[in-house]
Amino acid sequence: MIDAPAMRTEHFPFGIKGAGLGTVQRQVPSDEPPPLPPNAELVQIGKPAHRQNGRAKVTGAIRYTVDVTPEGMLNGMILRSPFPHARVRAIDVDDAARCPGVRAIVIVAKPDDPHSAVVRYVGAPVAAVAAASMAAAAEALALIRVDYEPMPFVVDMDEARAPDAPPVHDKMSAPAGHASGFPAAAGLPIVGNIRGPAIARRGDLAMGFAEADVTVEGEFRTSVQTHCCMEPHAIVADWRTDGLTVHMSTQFTAGVRQELAKEFGLPLNRIRVVVDGMGGGFGSKSSLGNYGRLAVQLSREAHSPVRVILDRKEEQTDAGNRPAVLQYLRVGAKRDGSLTALEALSYGTAGIALGASAGNFAQSIYACANFESAHNDVFINAGPGCAMRGPGNTPGAFALEQMIDELAERLAVDPLALRDKIDASPVRHEERRLGAARIGWDRRHATGADAGTVKRGVGMAQSMWGANVQTNAACEVRVMRDGGVQILSSVQDIGTGIGTVLAQVVAEVMGLRPEDIDVRIGDTDFPAGPPSYGSRTTASITPPARTAAWRVMQMMFAEAALALNAGAGELIARGGRIYVAGDDKRSIGFCDVAAHLRTDRISATASRADDYGGYRRSMQDAALAQQDLGGAQFAEVTVDTETGLIRVERVVAVQDCGRPMNPMLTESQVQGGVLMGLSYALFEERIIDRGTGRIVNANLEQYKLVGSRETPAIDVILLENYQGRSATDAYGVAEPANIATAPAIANAVYNAIGVRLRSLPMTPAAVLMALGKVPAETQP
Amino acid sequence: MNRFAFVKAQTLAEAAQASATVAGLIASSAGATGGGSVVKAGGIDLLDLMKENLLAPDTILSLRDIPDIDTISARGAGLRIGAMATLAGLADHPLVRDRFKALAQAAAASDTPQIRNVATVGGNLLQRPRCWYFRAKEFDCLRKGGEHCFAHSGESQYHAIFDNDICAIVHPSTIATVLVALEATVELVNAAGVTRRVRLADFFVSPSEDPTRENDIRIGEILVAVEIPATPRSSRCVWLKQGQRASSDWPLADVAVALELDAAGKCTHAVIVLGAVAPVPRRATSAEALLVGSIIDDALTKAAGCAALDGVTPLTGNRYKLPLLEALVQRAIAQALTTPGQSRQAAAQAL
């Protein structure tokens, strides 16, 4: 029988440092640690500790998945469809099977299976081969003969919406999924290539517009963006009679284990998923993926470990993407700025599968009683999308934050003043204040007022993201008899340095240094950690880390109390010793205490306690915290009105992540978010040849990413925002750091040239077109 | 990528045993199925082509070990640039920076430091175009010996706005734009040891002559050097590039302008070369004609920028290049006017 946990009352620091820091009273489970004081009073947490594996990363010593080469490993490669839509009538693998070194072949597109026989995008897997070397595998792939019957296809979203467009799916293949992300709308109608609409509404839209003194509206388009992880997707699958071991570059070891169990009918205790170094994921490494499934199948067939690494073309084609979205927005407001109605209609390129919504941002960020959004996924013959850094909200913010600026202009008020009026978030209010001061908002001139050819502009935009928590998250902390400390969790380091943060947390509790803590993560043999997506890693795993460390320390204090002849409750840990509080002369070394332990090691495992005071919404394994994560970004740009070139000179990013655990690592993550947003704003676009359905820029030469010479000065300001919700009060920052950048740049561009760019990317071609400098298409 | 033999040629004669040019091999159906030997300089472009399986030679003859074809030296007040000099070497060389600053700038603006440290002047001039249809194996385009140009009805934002009716590539070499403006000559040596000198401007091949190659290098020929004469206008030479990015990107357009002014400031000679807008570096002859004989003022500069677009035939996706190119030409002319002309001593040497 389990009793409801005993609760106790605690007082937590509350509010934003610098804007009125007080306390809040919360009921907390009695086995949770005491409230953590503000960062200023701490030794390790909130300090800029260096990334523990930084040296290993820059020297190449760290082990990425591609570096895992078990004895007898085979190389797997995937044969991919050259057609955007085709039926595989026959596939002949006999010659390939006879190729020297070939050990296994898996056929994906089976001619006798009406479902799998149809390939629906260029790059869709048709078959896979495992061979002794990559050269042998490539040779075998070339020997597979496939008889394709090409079918009509469509790769352009506007064309795909037409009633007579070639259907991407048949009745059997149409994914039953959803059009919008959170929460999923199930059972949506599919007509032609359009799935939806998924509708969200509140109030009375017509009444809202009737009440409006001013209405603004606009059409916005964003491009398909790909994740472009530096480290490609990679897996080494090792299927053995006693179980399956998978090394994989993944954002969610525990999730991949669950997928494998389901997919291959294996018990969880026979599957181990491991990742060490990771070179980014951004949403694209959240699940097993078709390449992962194929690697396991090949290993099962070959009775050997099989490695599959996607090359850059495969990365750009079949590793997911951020869908392009077409949005129509309409906003009504009173003369005083208050919003009376907000309407958002959108269409997203789902590729062959994913939802591509963008309405959540408009639904949530500003107070508006009358709201309606309708989102539609449009299927096209292209690789499926997947989550990417701030899915939905990133394209959503590009549109709405420009619309709000346009409204401010119509109302003849400053864009910041209008947001002060309509944005209820005290966090963003403070962020606007800090950001405006840092960028020098006062210097901002009237729209288009800069003289000369190269015009300067300043703009801003805001972000909003749910503060996600993985409730299914745990870790273990151990102390050895020699004083060694370990922390263990399956949580993985996507590249942001969560291992270093965990070491800081444990070190803080134990009075040790972060480098004293042995961090063992990225392995499902340890307690299940959270995924590294949805900006939830730090929020989910640092509280149980502190709790587990605190519980182990209670055992250490009990042991030390005997030696110090004091009560365990009187003891504190500091500088590698345990002291009687208030008496510096009575202390004992941490290692000396450990030496007296009854067993070789003691340990405590803690899981993520629910946020104190509860969640806004709970789902299985995950929950949404009461408060949102806000951000405000300011951009200063120059626009060359003759060449159309936009240069972003400076970005000020003011971000909220609850309690910053390690400002150095957090700032670095925010810089990454800004760069990715800048890249989205100015450069990135998947380009598909309409005639053949092939991506023409499936490489990093012609798919353009921001480079060193386009990197602006980036000022990061982190709020210290205490809410008293968990043992660490830390939340995420990955996505909010990315969402506001593109609209901030777009608003700055408008301020510079007085013409609004409503499509991404904002290339010289787009700027010159918007300025009316491109001659019309009438050649003599 | 295929397996191949790698031969470090020790002499030009040995390298000249190559059985094919890269263009010839790709245009023949044998290109991707294997066979033939080709020469390699820096290997940057060759590697790209081989990775995409556009080219599968049996043998690669490396020029790296051949002595004395990578030096940059003075020729009177002009320069002789060994074809194996790297772009980094070109960008950093005091003689280049001193005499032909625009060339040093163009070299320095190419791609990344890693590439510039390996890429050679000869390889840069002879590299194949970056057209995404040409570069992808799946598109059997005209330039690969196929039937048609996919850019005409396809994705054409980075393609040619001039001379694009047959094949719409743009010439990929940035230094070529400057070298044509500087009236450079290339020196080629064949297997028999015979040297051929061709004006760079005449070395390039337009699609109407042959859409499967960009230049007139012949089987067994090795490009050994580029020579730049000192002319009264070469010191008043300006090069400007506009890329979508400044980091590691190809130009959307680039422009080189070389002007000669008399003592009264009247333009006596003008060379304007447009890059990345046509299948070969393009002389803007009507713009040049406008400038010659006049004192160049703002109005004339504007008119010349406009005239540089004479004969333009943009595709659906690249009309934006018109205003962009016009602006670049105007800026380059304006900068050339304020660029110091040659010193008296250099002028004396040149004459």
Report which residue type is found at A273. V
User: What DSSP element (H or E) covers A315?
Assistant: helix A312-318
Orientation angle between helical segments A741-753 and A393-411, nearest 10 degrees: 30
Spatial neighbors of B151 by CB under 8 A, at least 6 apart, are B131, B133, B159, B164, B167, B168, B169, B315
Among A266, A258, A237, A283, residue whose Cα is nearest residue A128:
A237
Q: Distance (Å) from the C-alpha of residue A393 to the closest C-alpha of chain B?
A: 26
> How many residue pairs from chains A and B have C-beta atoms closer than 8 A?
85
Answer whether A200's CB lies under 8 Å from A373's CB: yes
pTM score: 0.97
Mean pLDDT per 10-residue segment, chain A (780 residues): 79 96 96 97 97 94 96 98 98 97 98 94 98 96 98 97 94 59 64 91 97 98 97 98 97 98 97 96 96 98 98 96 96 98 94 78 94 94 93 96 98 98 97 98 94 96 96 98 98 97 98 98 98 96 98 97 96 98 96 96 98 95 95 98 98 98 98 98 97 96 96 98 98 97 98 98 98 80
C-alpha span between A277 and A294 (Å, rounded): 22
Instruction: Among B132, B139, B323, select the one facing A642 at the smallest CB separation.
Output: B323
C-alpha distances in Å from residue A47, one per residue of A42, A659, A695, B21: 8, 11, 45, 61
C-alpha span between A479 and A520 (Å, rounded): 13
Instruction: Among B3, B138, B323, select the one facing A694 at the smallest CB separation.
Output: B138
User: Quick one: B102 exposed, middle or buried, by C-beta within 10 A (0-12, 13-18, 19+)?
Assistant: buried
Q: B155, B165, B326: best mutation site toward chain A, by most A Cβ within 10 Å?
A: B155
Cβ–Cβ below 8 Å for A642 and B324? yes
Q: Distance (Å) from the C-alpha of residue B285 to the closest C-alpha of chain A?
A: 21
C-alpha span between A521 and A28 (Å, rounded): 28
Answer whether B308's CB lies under 8 Å from B329's CB: yes
Chain B environment of A689 (Cβ under 8 Å):
133, 150, 154-155
- The whole-number pLDDT of residue A177 equals 52
Q: Please, which pLDDT band fits residue B349 given cuts at 50, 70 and 90?
A: low
**Of all residues in chain B, what percent carry a pLDDT higher than 70?**
95
Cβ–Cβ below 8 Å for A704 and B249? yes
Chain A environment of B3 (Cβ under 8 Å):
135
C-alpha span between A340 and A329 (Å, rounded): 14
Q: Distance (Å) from the C-alpha of residue B233 to the closest C-alpha of chain A?
A: 27
One-character DSSP codes across B102-145: HHHHHHHTSS-HHHHTT-BHHHHHHPPP--HHHH-TT--BGGGT
C-alpha span between A146 and A156 (Å, rounded): 27
Instruction: Among B138, B245, B316, select the one facing A707 at the smallest CB separation.
Output: B245
Among A698, A741, A674, residue whose Cα is nearest residue A224:
A698
Q: Which residues of B228-246 are buried (b: 16+ CB within 10 A; e: fewer)?
A: bebbbbbbbbbbbbbbbbe
* ipTM value: 0.95
Chain B environment of A701 (Cβ under 8 Å):
130
- The whole-number pLDDT of residue B30 equals 56
Report which residue type is found at A158. D
C-alpha span between A396 and A403 (Å, rounded): 11
Instruction: Among A135, A694, A763, select the one facing B136 at the smallest CB separation.
Output: A694
Cβ–Cβ below 8 Å for B139 and A773? no
Instruction: Work out the widest C-alpha separation in chain A, in whole angstroms.
Output: 100
Among A123, A140, A19, residue whose Cα is nearest residue A77:
A140
Cβ–Cβ below 8 Å for B245 and A763? no
Cβ–Cβ below 8 Å for A696 and B155? yes
Among A375, A326, A386, A325, residue whose Cα is nearest residue A352:
A386
CB < 8 Å & 24+ apart, contacts of A443-452:
A444/A751, A445/A751, A447/A409, A447/A750, A447/A751, A447/A754, A448/A751, A448/A752, A448/A753, A448/A754, A450/A752
Among A431, A462, A435, A401, residue whose Cα is nearest residue A652:
A435
Among A198, A223, A225, residue whose Cα is nearest residue A355:
A198
Residue A619: phi and psi, rounded to 5, are: -125, 180
Q: Using beta carbons and an 8 Å cutoff, which residues of A are at the interface with B?
A: 82, 135, 642-645, 682-683, 687, 689-692, 694, 696-697, 701-702, 704, 706-710, 763-765, 768-769, 773-775, 777, 779
C-alpha distances in Å from residue B326, one per residue of A286, B163, B178, B275, B306: 48, 17, 17, 12, 6
* DSSP character at residue A33: P
Spatial neighbors of A712 by CB under 8 A, at least 6 apart, are A635, A636, A648, A649, A650, A651, A674, A678
| Closest residue on chain A to B305 (Cα) | A642
Number of other residues whose CB lies within 10 A of the CB of residue B98: 13
C-alpha distances in Å from residue B232, one per residue of A507, A737, B105, B270, B344: 73, 55, 20, 11, 10
Instruction: Among B150, B245, B252, select the one facing A689 at the smallest CB separation.
Output: B150
Where residue A602 falls (left for φ over 0; alpha for ψ -120 to 50; beta otherwise) is: beta
Cβ–Cβ below 8 Å for A775 and B246? no
C-alpha distances in Å from residue A67, one per residue of A78, A309, A726: 20, 11, 38
Answer whether A480's CB lies under 8 Å from A601's CB: yes
Residue A500: phi and psi, rounded to 5, are: -65, -40
Answer whether B170's CB lies under 8 Å from B278's CB: yes
Q: Distance (Å) from the C-alpha of residue A262 to the closest C-alpha of chain B?
A: 38
C-alpha span between A182 and A534 (Å, rounded): 11
| E strand residue ranges, A387-453 | none
C-alpha span between A460 and A415 (Å, rounded): 8
Q: Using beta carbons and an 8 Å cutoff, which residues of B are at the interface with A?
A: 3, 130, 132-133, 136, 138-139, 150, 153-155, 157-158, 242, 244-249, 252, 313-314, 316, 318-320, 322-324, 327-328, 331
Query: Can you count the helices (H) and strands (E) in chain B?
Result: 15, 12
Tell me: pLDDT of B348 over 60: no
* DSSP character at residue B204: B
- The whole-number pLDDT of residue B228 equals 98
Rounded mean pLDDT, B38-59: 95
Number of other residues whose CB lies within 10 A of the CB of residue A44: 22
- The whole-number pLDDT of residue B340 equals 77
* DSSP character at residue B295: B
Cβ–Cβ below 8 Å for B247 and A683? no
C-alpha span between A657 and A661 (Å, rounded): 9
Among A606, A581, A597, A630, residue whose Cα is nearest residue A735:
A630
Cβ–Cβ below 8 Å for A709 and B245? yes
Among A564, A613, A559, residue whose Cα is nearest residue A586:
A564
Chain B environment of A764 (Cβ under 8 Å):
242, 244, 252, 320, 324
C-alpha span between B132 and B151 (Å, rounded): 9
C-alpha span between A543 and B149 (Å, rounded): 60
Answer whether A519's CB lies under 8 Å from A52's CB: yes
Q: B51, B135, B244: best mutation site toward chain A, by most A Cβ within 10 Å?
A: B244
- The whole-number pLDDT of residue A183 equals 42
C-alpha span between A510 and A572 (Å, rounded): 9
C-alpha span between A30 and B276 (Å, rounded): 71
Q: A314, A774, A779: best mutation site toward chain B, by most B Cβ within 10 Å?
A: A774
Answer whether A657's CB lies under 8 Å from A732's CB: yes
Chain A environment of B328 (Cβ under 8 Å):
643
